[in-house]
């Protein structure tokens, strides 16, 4: 049920973003998924200079605690957002 709701939300968000961007000539729109950027790191941590242990370790290089990301992960997300903004 939750997965279905998330999928509906994502579909509607994308559609409304496109519609708003099309109808608002002064606006520039960008849809960025921090979830996707984080999942890439968690799926292949060594590609991003993290270790396999970092994926599940609180107080490690990815997770500050059981909920919050570390400064280095925030920097990674910021870099990905920067790339998305300036590559479009």
pLDDT of residue 54: 96
Same domain membership, residue 51 and residue 16:
no
How confident is residue 88, by pLDDT bands cut at 50, 70 and 90?
low
What mean pLDDT is reported for the chain?
95
Same domain membership, residue 82 and residue 61:
yes
Same domain membership, residue 87 and residue 62:
yes
Instruction: Indicate the number of domains in the chain.
Output: 2
pLDDT in tens, 54-66: 999 999 999 999 9
- How far are the Cα atoms of 23, 34, 51, 75 from residue 47, in angstroms, in the given order? 39, 17, 9, 16
Nearest to 79 by CA among 43, 49, 59: 49
Question: pTM for this one?
Answer: 0.77
pLDDT of residue 87: 86
Same domain membership, residue 52 and residue 37:
yes
């Amino acid at each position: 049920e939750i997965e279905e709701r998330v999928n509906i939300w994502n579909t509607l968000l994308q559609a409304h973003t496109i519609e708003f961007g099309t109808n608002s000539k002064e606006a520039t729109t960008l849809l960025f998924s921090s979830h996707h950027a984080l999942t890439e790191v968690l799926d292949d941590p060594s590609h991003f200079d993290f270790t396999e242990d970092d994926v599940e370790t609180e107080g490690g290089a990815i997770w500050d605690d059981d909920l919050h990301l570390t400064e280095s992960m925030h920097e990674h997300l910021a870099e990905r957002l920067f790339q998305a903004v300036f590559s479009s």
